[in-house]
A and B are shown apart, each in its own frame.
With several copies, the nearest count.
Chain A
Amino acid sequence: MKLKQKLKEYWHKLGSPRWFYQITTNWVTFFGGSALLLLVTGFVWALAFAPADYQQGNSFRIMYVHVPAAMLAQSLYIGMGVAGFIGLVWRMKLTDVAIAACLPLGMVLTALALFTGGVWGKPTWGSWWEWDGRTVSTLVLLFLYVGIYALREAIPDADLRARASALVSLVGTVNIPIIKYSVEWWNTLHQSASFSLTEKPAMPAEMWLPLLVMVLGFYCFAGHHVLSRMRLEVLTRESSSRWVAELMLNKNAVDGTPQTSTTDHGKG
C-alpha cells in the first residue's frame, strides 16, 4: 500500500520538469562516468587481452562490438515504444524528446550492428551478407527506424509529430517480436543454416566477461545520451522560469559547471 503510494508520488513528480532536471543531474554524471570507465576497459580488454577463438581466430573479437551494438539497437527501439506508450496515454511531452534522442542513436547502432556483422561475416562465412533470421530481423529494424525518422521529418508541427511518432513506435514495437520469431522460424524451415547464431558457444569466462563489460558500457552510454538530450529540452522549454534562470546564471558565475565533469570522458 505504502509502496504504491510512493510510486504514485514518484510518477507525478516525473511530470514536473524541475524535479526531473534535478534528479537526473547525478544520473547523467553516473552514466557518463561509468560509460567512460566500462568502454575504455572493455575496448582494451576485448582487443588486447581476451583470448582468440580456436576456430575463428582473432576475428572473434568483433563480437565485443557487434553484440552490444545489436542488443542496444533493439533495446532503444523498445525504449521508444515504451516512451510512445507513455506519451500517448499520459500525454507527457518529455517522452517525445526521449523518442527523438533514441531514434538517431538506435538507427546508427542498427547500422553498426549490420556493418560489424558483415565485416565479421567476410572472414567467417566467406561473404559479407547471408539471408538469415538474425540478419533479416536486424535489417527490418533498420527500416522501422528509417520509417519513423522519415515520418518525423515530414511533420512540421511539434505536437503532432510527437503524437504520430509515438503511435508508430508503439505499433512497431508490438511487431518486433512477431517479426523476430517469424523470421527465425522461416529461416529454419527454408535454409538449414551452415552456421548457427542462436546457439551460444559455451564461452569461458575470460571471453564473456569483456563482453559483459562492453554491453554494460554501451547501455550506460545510451543512458547518458538520452538523458542529456532530455535535460536540454527541459531547460529550453522552461527557459523563462525562475529556477532555470537561477541555475544558468549560477553556473555562469561559478563556471565549474556540474555538466563538464561528465563531458570529459569523450577524450577517452
Chain B
Amino acid sequence: MVGALLLREWKILLRARASIVNPMAFLLLSTLLFAIAAPQLVAEPSQQASGILWVLVLFTQLLSLDAMFRRDYDSGTLEQSLIMADVPFVAVLIRIFVQWLGTGLVIVIATPVIGPLLGLSWSAVPGTMLALLLGTPALSLLGSIGAGITVGFSRGGIILALLVLPLFLPVLIFGTDIVNAAGAGLNYTAQAYWLALITLVALIVSPFAALAGLRISVEMQ
C-alpha cells in the first residue's frame, strides 16, 4: 500500500514539477523582500536573523499547507481514499510526509544559502539546519490538522493560518532559541530534545486529528 501511494505522489510531483522548486524560490524571494524593506536588518550577522528565518519558514509552510489536500479534495480523490483505503491513516500520513519533503526538507537544504543572506553567521548554520530538521516535521504534522478541517472552504487560507499558527508557536520558540544558541556558541541539547519531543507528540496525535478533520470536510462537500 505504502509503495503504491508513494509512487503516485512522486509522479504527481514530477508532473507538476514547479512544486519542488517553488518553496525554495519563495524563500529566496521573501529574503529579498526583507533585504529591501528592512536593509538594516540583514546588513550584518545579527541576532535577529534566526527570528526572521523562522518566520519565513512559517509563512512558506502556511502557503503550502493550504494546498496539502486541496487538489485531492477537488478531484474527489480524497473522498475515495477515505472510503477505499485499507488504512486511511496511512494515506494521510503519506500525504503529510510528502508535503514535508516538498517544504521542510527543501528549507533545510536551502538554509546554507538563505541563512547567510539574512545575516545568519556561518557558525550558526549547522545548528539552524538541525533545528529545522527537528522542527519542520512538527509544522507539517500540526499543520495537517488545520489543512484537513479547512480544505472544504474556498477562503480557507486565512482561517487555516488562524488555526495553525498558535500551534506552531512552541516550535518557533525552541527553534529560534537553538539558532541563537548555535550562533553564540552555546549548548543547545536541551532545546533540541524539546523540539524532538514536540515532533514526536505531533506525529502521534496529528494524523488522527487530520483524518477526523478530513472526514468532516468530506461530509460537508
Contacts and interface: CB of A to CB of B under 8 A. Distances in A.
A and B touch in the complex (CB under 8 A): yes
B12 interface: no
Contact of A172 (B21, B42, B166, B174): B166
A136 B162 contact: no
A168 B217 CA distance: 13
Interface string B26-48: 00110010011001001100000
Given A128-B116, A143-B166, A136 B25 contact: no
A35 B32 CA distance: 35
Given A128-B116, A155-B220, A160-B219, A139 B177 contact: no
Contacts of B167: 171-172, 175
Contact of B159 (A140, A154, A160, A191): A154
A128 B36 CA distance: 17
Interface residues of B, number: 42
A186 interface: yes
Interface of A: 88, 128-129, 131, 136, 139-140, 143-144, 146-151, 153-155, 157, 160, 163-164, 167-168, 171-172, 174-175, 178-179, 182-183, 185-186, 189-191
Given A129-B117, A186-B177, A171 B209 contact: yes
Given A143-B25, A186-B36, A190-B39, A168 B163 contact: yes
Contacts of A148: 163
A147 B153 CA distance: 14
A144 B149 CA distance: 15
Interface string B5-32: 0000000000011100110010011001
A160 B220 contact: yes
Contacts, number: 104
Contacts of B216: 160, 163-164, 167
Given A186-B173, A186-B177, A151 B163 contact: yes
B210 to A, nearest CB: 10
B76 interface: no
B114 to A, nearest CB: 11
Interface of B: 16-18, 21-22, 25, 28-29, 32, 35-36, 39, 42-43, 116-117, 145, 149-150, 153, 155, 158-159, 162-163, 165-167, 169-170, 173-174, 177, 194, 198, 205, 209, 212-213, 216, 219-220
Given A167-B216, A168-B163, A179-B169, A150 B21 contact: yes
B170 A140 contact: no
A151 B158 CA distance: 10
B42 A182 contact: no
B22, B116, B166, B194, most chain A CB atoms within 10 A? B166
A77 to B, nearest CB: 11
Contacts of A183: 36, 169, 173
B166 A140 contact: yes
Nearest to B154: A154
Contacts of A131: 35-36, 39, 42-43
A189 B191 CA distance: 12
Contacts of A143: 25, 28-29, 32, 162, 165-166
Contacts of B177: 186, 189
